[in-house]
Amino acid sequence: MTVRNRILVLLSAVVVLAAVAVASVLRASARAERRDRTQAGGPNVTPGTVTLTQPGRMVFRNMAWGPHRDELVAAPATSPSGPRTASGLKCLRFYAASGTGVCLQAVHGPVSDTYRAALLDASLHVRARYDVPGIPSRARVSPSGRFAAWTAFVGGDSYAGTNFSTRTAIADTRTGALTPSLETYRIVKDGRTYHAADVNFWGVTFASDDRTFYATLATQGTTYLIRGDLRSRTVTTLHTNVECPSLSPDGTRIAFKKRVAGLPKDAPWHLYVLNLRTLRETPLAEPRSVDDQAVWRDDHTLVYALPGDYGADLYELPADGTGKPRRISTAAVSPAYVR
């Protein structure tokens, strides 16, 4: 083949390939319009005022298609599938307590997306912003509203991108001081100070004393429940195979997801509750794998998200191993109960 013919072959192939490429991009961008239209039979969403101080409300991220997709909305805590009031503020992950909210958002830059954590006051005004180094995963606020914590996935930089790690940060909303990574805390594992390059933390949950917190620490292929101390900047391992802990309002139990042998690699977790005094585990009556940091609705009931038709749905379940899961809301994630 002459050089001219080769160039012709390449050019015609490039034209075909470019057409396929452009078509795929156009098809994907057409989805945007579809998702901005209100879904038939979906929840009723109207714009309005949302605050973090109206008792009896549940505030969460609305995932229903329509103009208010991904916005924080409020619904009655007793009937979360009822009408939603949309705030206009978009969050990927959210949590709130005592009038303080934390909202993990995407910031669309010119060449790539970045993420940030916005600390919100009771009327959802942003009081402080912090950079988040990766894809937001978990968010929590301490019961008093003083501390906020969040976890992000940080993607690997190896060729095939298979190394992932997590970064967990804690902010003091009163002073503005930020601990960008819990990895700077001293780790006490089995009674001794522990160092490792592969340490990852995720899923902080705060106690009501504004000093103690719990979280998951992973190293050498094992996950641990740790108790952390914000003043001495130390974490101590308590128990193994605990992920995404969530402390009950009375401070006596931890709800968590436990990796159970024999389940598929993508969905290996069952919900459990750990009694912190006896360290006894109680399996909960949810047969499906749950990948969420559960929220305690009260001292006896847990709420968590499972994949649904529009991203995620919320379910509730008794915390003592009895009962059956009940779907309380569709197209919803990241709930916080205003008490």
Partner 1 sequence: MYVADSRAGSPAPASADGAARPPAGRRRAAVAPTVLALGTVSLVTDVSSEMVTAVLPLYLVAGLGLSPLGFGLLDGIYNGFSALVRLAGGHLADRGGGRHKWVAGLGYGISALCKPLLLLVHSLTPIGLVLAADRTGKGLRTAPRDALISLSSTPESRGRAFGVHRAMDTAGALLGPLVAFLILRATVDGYDAVFTVSFCVAVAGVLILVLFVPGGKRQPAPAEQPERTAHGDRPTLRAAVGLLRRRELRRIAVCALLLGLATVSDSFVYLLLQRRLGVPDRWFALLPLGTAAAFLVLAVPLGRLADRVGRWAVFLAGHVALLLAYALLLTSWHGTALPYAVLLLHGGFYAATDGVLMAAASDGVPEHLRSSGLALVQTGQALARFACSLGFGAAWTVWGDRTALTASTVALAACAAFSLTLRPRDKATA
Minimum separation from the CB atom of position 41 to partner 1 (A): 21
Whichever of 151 and 205 has its CB closer to partner 1, that residue is 151
Q: Which residues 294-323 are close enough to bind partner 1 by CB under 8 A?
A: 307, 312
Question: Counting contacts by CB under 8 A, is residue 1 touching partner 1?
Answer: yes
Contact between 183 and 198 under an 8 Å Cβ cutoff? The reply is no
Q: Which stretch binds partner 1 (CB under 8 A): 9-17, 48-56, 83-91, 247-255?
A: 9-17
Contact partners, residue 189, CB within 8 Å, separation at least 6: 219, 224, 236, 237
Whichever of 55 and 266 has its CB closer to partner 1, that residue is 266
Question: Counting contacts by CB under 8 A, is residue 27 touching partner 1?
Answer: yes
Q: Which stretch binds partner 1 (CB under 8 A): 43-51, 133-141, 245-253, 295-303?
A: 133-141
CA distance 74 to 258: 31
Site string for partner 1, 197-236 (x = CB under 8 A): xx-x-x---------------x-xx---------------
CA distance 200 to 221: 10
Q: In what order do the strands lie in the sheet with 45-47?
A: 45-47, 84-90, 71-76, 57-62, 332-337
Please select the residue that binds partner 1; options are 163, 240, 275, 322, rule is CB under 8 A. 163
Cα-based distances in Å from 71 to 15, 280, 313: 41, 39, 15
CA distance 230 to 94: 22
Q: Which stretch binds partner 1 (CB under 8 A): 26-34, 54-62, 295-303, 319-327?
A: 26-34
Check the CA dihedral 137-182-213-53 and report its sign: negative
CA distance 145 to 214: 16
Question: Counting contacts by CB under 8 A, is residue 277 touching partner 1?
Answer: no
Question: Counting contacts by CB under 8 A, is residue 264 touching partner 1?
Answer: yes
Strands 113-120 and 332-337: unpaired
Q: Which stretch binds partner 1 (CB under 8 A): 112-120, 121-129, 226-234, 245-253?
A: 112-120
Minimum separation from the CB atom of position 19 to partner 1 (A): 9
SS3 213: strand
Q: How many other C-beta atoms lie within 10 A of the C-beta of residue 92? A: 18
Cα 318 to chain center, whole Å? 21
Question: Counting contacts by CB under 8 A, is residue 167 touching partner 1?
Answer: yes
The per-residue DSSP string of 220-249 comes to TTEEEEEEEETTTTEEEEEEES-EEEEE-T
Site string for partner 1, 54-93 (x = CB under 8 A): --------------------------------------x-
CA distance 5 to 28: 35
Whichever of 66 and 83 has its CB closer to partner 1, that residue is 66
Contact between 257 and 271 under an 8 Å Cβ cutoff? The reply is yes
Question: Counting contacts by CB under 8 A, is residue 260 touching partner 1?
Answer: no
Minimum separation from the CB atom of position 316 to partner 1 (A): 20
Question: Counting contacts by CB under 8 A, is residue 131 touching partner 1?
Answer: yes
Residue 42: name the closest of 16, 20, 73 by CA.
73
Question: Counting contacts by CB under 8 A, is residue 129 touching partner 1?
Answer: no
Interface contacts to partner 1, rule CB under 8 A:
1, 6, 9-10, 13-14, 17-18, 20-21, 24-25, 27-29, 31-32, 35, 92, 108, 111-114, 131-135, 137, 153-167, 169, 180-181, 183, 194-198, 200, 202, 218, 220-221, 264-266, 291, 307, 312
